[in-house]
Structure 1
Amino acid sequence: MTEILLNDTLAFTYPVVRKGESCPLIWDLRDPPSSAAQLVPYGQKHSTSFKFLQSQFATSPRVTGLYILCDLLPYPWKISARNQKGVTVGDVLEAIYQVARTPLTTEEWDRLPSKQRQRVNRVFDVRWTNASAPEKERNRGLKRVDCLLQSTRFAGLSMSYDDDFTCILTLSRNLD
C-alpha cells in the first residue's frame, strides 16, 4: 500500500516544531477559503491567492477523494473533497467551508444539550451582528460553524492511521 503524504501547507505539526503555529496556513472557517494566508519565515502572514491553492495538490501521490473527520463537530458531518484530476489544497478548504456554512438542521439543534445551545446562540449573535449585512445573516439562521464556538481556526490535517484516504482535522481557538 502506498503511503499518502499531505501537502506541507495543510499538514498539522505540533506547535513546538513551528514555535507556536501548528500549520503554515492561517484560516478561520467562518471566512471563505479565499481569505487564507500562509505563514512565511519569522511568523509573518503572506497573502496566498486561492488560485495558487487550487493548483497545489493536497497529497502526494495525488488522490481523487479525501475524507475529513473532526472530533470537535457534534455530529459526524461528512466532509469530502473530490477532484478527478487530484484533490487540491483549495478543494480541501472549500469542502470544509461548505460543511461549516451548512445551516444547522432542527434535528441537530434539538439534539444539542441546553447549555450547548446557549453557547451556540451567543456565538451566532456575535457572528450575525458582525456581518456586513447583519439582518440578512441573522435571517439565514444558525450554521454548523456556530457549533464550533471559538474553535474556528484551521490548525491542520493529519492522515488517519485507520484509512488511507481519511484525514483528521485539527482546529484551534480563534485568536480574536
Structure 2
Amino acid sequence: MPTLKQIHPLLSHQPFTMLEGIQNPSLLSWNIREAPSTFLRVDSVPIRRLRSHELTTPATRPSVNHLRIRCGLFHDSETWFIEARNPLGVTVQDVLVAIYEAFKQPYSNEAFSTLCPKTQTLVLNAFHARVRATAESRTVWEAGIQRGDCLMRHSWFGGLSVPFERGGDTENTCLLSVRRLDDGAILSSPTRASLFR
C-alpha cells in the first residue's frame, strides 16, 4: 500500500500560504453541513467554479483507493472516521462527498449521553435550528440528531492534512480541520465548486 505523502492543494490545509485577504486556510469555501454543490459565493474574489477535471483529480499523491479522514472535534475520533473509497483512486470529489455524507450520519443516543450538559444543549440547539430551516421538519425531527449537529458552529471546511505520526492505522489517514462560522464573518476563498454528477 503506498504511503500518503501529499494532499491535493484544493483539499489541503494551507495556513502558511493563504492569499492576502483570504481568511480560510483552504482553497475551498464550504460549510460541510451543506452539499458540496453549494459552495459559497465569494464577494472579494472573482467566482471560479471547479472544473470537472479538477473534481476527478486524485485527492492524494500517490493516489490511494481508500482514504481515512479523522476529525478531532469528536471524543470518539479514534473509533469514528470518514472513509472515501474509489477502486480507481480516491478523487477530490470522492473526498468532498464522503465528508458531507459522513456528517449526515445519525449520532447515537449513547454517544450523545456521554457529552457534558452544556455541549448537549449546544448540539440540541444546532439540531433544532436544522429542523426549523427545512420544509420537511417532521421527517428531519424524526430522523434525530446527526453527527453534523455536533459540529455546532465549527462547520467551515479548513482543509485536510497528513498527520505527523506514521505507521499503524495512520498509513492512509489524514486529518480534517474545521473552523468556526461566526455571525457576520466572511471566510472567503478563491474557489466555488459545483459538482458534476
Tell me which interval the TM-score lies in, with the shorter structure as reference length. Answer: 0.7 to 0.9
Residue of structure 1 equivalent to 2:181: 174
Deviations 1:94-141 (CA, angstroms, capped at 9, x unpaired) = 221222100111111111111111111111111111123222222221
Which protein is richer in strand relative to its size?
A: 1
- Classify the secondary structure of the residue corresponding to 2:67: strand
| CA spacing shift, 1:96–1:3, aligned 2, 3 Å | closer
Residue of structure 2 equivalent to 1:67: 68
Unaligned ranges ≥5, structure 2 = 184-197
Higher relative contact order (CA 8 A, sep 6+): 2
RMSD: 2.4
One-letter identity of the residue aligned with 2:106: P
One-letter identity of the residue aligned with 1:68: I
Q: Return the alpha-carbon distance in structure 1 between the equivalents of residues 17 and 85 of structure 2.
A: 32
Residue of structure 2 equivalent to 1:27: 30
Alignment of 1:9-48 (within 5 A): 9-14=10-15, 17-19=18-20, 20-36=23-39, 43-48=45-50
CA apart distance, 1:75: 1.8
| CA spacing shift, 1:120–1:58, aligned 2, 3 Å | same
Q: TM-score, normalised by structure 1?
A: 0.87
Which protein is richer in helix relative to its size?
A: 1
| CA spacing shift, 1:142–1:63, aligned 2, 3 Å | same
Alignment of 1:108-119 (within 5 A): 108-119=111-122
Q: Return the alpha-carbon distance in structure 1 between the equivalents of residues 89 and 42 of structure 2.
A: 24
Unaligned ranges ≥5, structure 1 = none
- Classify the secondary structure of the residue corresponding to 2:64: coil
| CA spacing shift, 1:65–1:3, aligned 2, 3 Å | closer
Paired residues in the alignment total 174
CA apart distance, 1:39: 6.9
